[in-house]
């Protein structure tokens, strides 16, 4: 059998079975309620009455490993991006809801009997946020982003999906980054600045050379996590100052029409956020114990990748920081959104996850407002890889549970 290969971060690959030969694939461009253009791929097999929608705020899921698995079980699959796909510098989650809404409207217009959302990783919180806002009367939806920009969710059609599946969802981009950000940075303009008392990679604080597990003291952990929150708050304050500067320039331009003010209003004021790969659990496997390997989502040496170019929230506009990456300001937070999600829900926890830890999974499942909710655990890593060499992939194990769950509700 021919295989597709999906690249999934840090050089990891997962082989996916070929889609059924009867699959009909079509590509669609959609216009959102605020006039943006997004695209998606619809795959349909004969007799499919239920469609599963996969989406992520930052990534292209057109070749997600679950696509052929779902098609083989008789479900249509819709994969779409946001207006910020593969480029999250300006990702505003409230706008991503309008992108998701356009996809949901499209699927309803295609005549599917049931629409199920499937959120993997960051797609989980995006869809939890969508379910929360779609379930509200239009007049009660958000009207502004965390940066204060108007957002017309009330004017958008936001069809409510019939069910929600979550696979290895982390608690939200902002909540995730608050655990990852390195609080030992003392100068936001200097990627090498460090407060040695907070340095997670200093043996004096409990760090051990990889692949040996570190051992951080409870006192250091408490001090470290408080300092992480403080750094987020400092960047929030900087982002809000820059939002205010841009707003002031726009007001000046409206009153004077001075081209200099126009240019000042358009200037992006992009933030550079150094060192965002430093969750203590990456190097101390005794914390939040599960079957995860040593290292982070970006590699087996977080003491090095923390200083590298690739990482979460490295380059970001102030608006996107406040909406997406700030654990203090973002509306896209799983625990905050989940109580409003009342559709039947399946939560798939991966036992070697490096972003959704066991206590996270328990809290998130408990927070779901669904009367019909199921929590299953399968052996695998965050991206759906195998827990060990020669083992089945987490994605294939998850697909079996997802297929069984869907069949009992949407045969």
Rounded Cα–Cα distance for residues 344 and 342 (Å)? 7
**pLDDT on residue 18:** 85
Answer whether the bond into residue 47 is a cis peptide, omega within 30°: no
With a cut of 70, which residues of the chain have pLDDT below it? 1-16
Instruction: Provide φ and ψ at 378, rounded to 5°.
Output: -130, 155
Task: Compute the distance between CA of residue 346 and CA of residue 398 in angstroms, rounded to an integer.
Answer: 11
Name all domains of the chain by residue range, CATH numbers in brackets: 3-172+330-409 (3.40.50.1820), 180-323 (no CATH)
Secondary structure string (H, E, C) spanning 336-375: HHHHHCCCCEEEEEEEECCCCCHHHHHHHHHHCCCCCEEE
Looking at residue 7, the DSSP 8-state letter turns out to be: E
Distance between CA atoms of residues 264 and 132, nearest Å:
36
Distance CA 308, CA 116 (A): 37
Q: By the 8 A CB rule, do 181 and 278 touch?
A: yes
Cα–Cα distance measured from residue 224 to residue 219, given in angstroms and rounded to the nearest whole number? 8
pLDDT of residue 16: 65
pLDDT of residue 3: 31
Residue among 273, 308, 274, 288 at smallest CA distance from 355: 288
With the C-alpha atoms ordered 329, 330, 335, 341, is the resulting torsion angle positive or negative?
positive
Nearest to 69, CA basis, from 404, 348, 410: 404
Helices 173-180 + 122-134 axis angle, to 10: 140
Q: Which residues contact 368 (CB under 8 A, 6 or more apart)?
A: 338, 339, 341, 345, 347
- Rounded CA gap, 28 and 15, in Å? 26
CA atoms of 230 and 188, how far apart (whole Å): 13
Residue 15: its pLDDT value, please?
63
Digit-coded pLDDT (tens) for 124-134: 999 999 999 99
Contacts 24+ apart (CB under 8 A), 245-249: 245/269, 246/318, 247/148
Q: For residue 86, what pLDDT is reported?
A: 85
Reduce the DSSP state of residue 326 to 3 states and report it.
coil
Q: How far apart are CA 221 and CA 214, in angstroms?
A: 12
State how far the Cα of 301 lies from the Cα of 316, in Å rounded to an integer: 24
- pLDDT, position 14: 59
Reduced to 3 states (helix: H, G, I; strand: E, B; else coil), residue 103 is helix
Pairing verdict, β 345-352 and 3-7? unpaired
What's the pTM? 0.94
- List the structure tokens of 37: 């253009």
State residue 10's pLDDT score. 39
CA-wise closest residue to 332 among 173, 102, 179: 173
């Amino acid at each position: 059998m021919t295989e597709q290969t999906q690249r999934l971060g840090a050089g990891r690959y997962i082989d996916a079975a070929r889609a059924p030969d009867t699959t009909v694939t079509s590509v669609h461009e959609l216009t959102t309620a605020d006039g943006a253009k997004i695209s998606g791929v619809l795959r349909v097999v004969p007799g499919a009455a239920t469609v599963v929608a996969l989406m992520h705020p930052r990534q292209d899921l057109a070749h997600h490993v679950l696509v052929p698995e779902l098609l083989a079980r008789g479900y249509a699959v819709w994969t779409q991006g946001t207006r910020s796909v593969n480029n999250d510098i300006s990702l505003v989650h409230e706008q991503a809801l309008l992108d998701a809404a356009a996809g949901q409207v499209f699927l309803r217009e295609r005549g599917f009997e049931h629409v199920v959302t499937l959120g993997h990783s960051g797609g989980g919180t995006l869809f939890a946020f969508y379910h929360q806002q779609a379930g509200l009367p239009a007049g009660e939806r958000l009207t502004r982003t965390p940066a204060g920009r108007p957002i017309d969710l009330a004017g958008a059609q936001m069809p409510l999906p019939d069910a929600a599946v979550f696979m290895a969802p982390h608690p939200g981009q902002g909540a995730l980054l608050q655990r990852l950000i390195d609080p030992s940075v003392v100068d936001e303009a200097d990627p090498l600045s460090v407060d040695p008392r907070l340095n997670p990679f200093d043996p004096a604080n409990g760090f051990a050379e990889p692949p040996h597990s570190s051992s951080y003291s409870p006192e250091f952990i408490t001090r470290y996590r408080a300092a992480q929150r403080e750094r987020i708050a400092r960047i929030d304050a900087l982002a809000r100052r820059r939002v205010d500067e841009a707003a002031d320039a726009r007001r000046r331009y409206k009153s004077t029409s001075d081209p200099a003010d126009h240019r000042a209003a358009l200037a992006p004021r992009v933030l550079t956020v150094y060192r965002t790969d430093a969750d203590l659990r990456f190097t101390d496997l005794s914390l939040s114990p599960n079957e995860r390997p040593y290292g982070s989502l970006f590699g087996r040496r977080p003491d090095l990748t923390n200083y590298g170019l690739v990482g979460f929230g490295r380059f970001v506009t102030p608006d996107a920081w406040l909406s997406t990456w700030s654990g203090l300001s973002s509306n896209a937070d799983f625990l905050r959104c989940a109580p409003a999600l009342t559709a039947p829900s399946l939560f798939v926890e991966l036992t070697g996850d490096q972003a959704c830890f066991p206590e996270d999974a328990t809290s998130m499942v408990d927070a779901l407002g669904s009367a019909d909710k199921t929590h299953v655990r399968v052996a695998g890593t965050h991206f759906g890889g195998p827990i060990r060499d020669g083992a089945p992939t987490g994605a294939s194990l998850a697909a079996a549970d997802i297929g069984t769950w869907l069949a009992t509700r949407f045969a």
